Amino acid sequence: MRSRDRRVLDIIARRPITTQAELVAALRSAGIRVTQATVSRDIKRLGLVKVPTGDGAYRYRASEVPRPSRAEIEAMLRRAVRDYVVDTDEGAGLVVVKTSMGSAGVVAEAIDEASWPEVVGTVAGDNTIIVVPRRPGDRAVILSRLRGMT
């Protein structure tokens, strides 16, 4: 688990955090430089949920549902690629994944959940996904992995 992840979980366990902005401020107070977008991804990755506090407000809490293991996440990605991906290609520094109609979101989410260090993120349409590599050389690695799953 990342150091920042541990800090996020510690902060929300110790005091009520009701917004992403509050969490950003708490992390910055702890000397961790983050943006709201980073915190948003952290919240999703950690599976944090908002729960009522009893006074009409809501606060973040760690979900009681355990996160899938790395192996389970990779298996879900392989299944999604095998079931829905029609083609993979590259262009202008990006990886383009074509899926069956309406399936791009499922595959993009699986790619994001896999947290490959070579992938910055994905953008999904209805049947097309743009995968943004972290560095130009990562495009070939991403293509190879995806093509190896079909």
- pLDDT(1) > 60: no
Are 108 and 101 contacting, i.e. CB atoms less than 8 angstroms apart? no
CA-to-CA dists, residue 124 to 15, 19, 34, angstroms:
36, 27, 25
- pLDDT(59) > 90: yes
Asked: is 3-62 a CATH 1.10.520.20 domain? The reply is no
Instruction: Output the six-digit token pair for 9.
Output: 């979980």
Count the neighbouring beta carbons within 10 Å of the beta carbon of residue 127.
17
Q: Where are the domains of the chain?
A: 3-62, 70-149
Among 60, 42, 59, 52, which residue's Cα sits nearest to residue 1?
A: 42
Give the start-end residues of each E strand in 4-139: 48-52, 58-62, 85-91, 94-99, 119-124, 128-133
Architecture of domain 70-149: 2-Layer Sandwich (3.30)
Per-residue pLDDT tens digits for 5-54: 889 999 999 999 999 999 999 999 999 998 988 898 889 888 899 998 88
State how far the Cα of 79 lies from the Cα of 88, in Å rounded to an integer: 16
Whether pTM exceeds 0.75: no
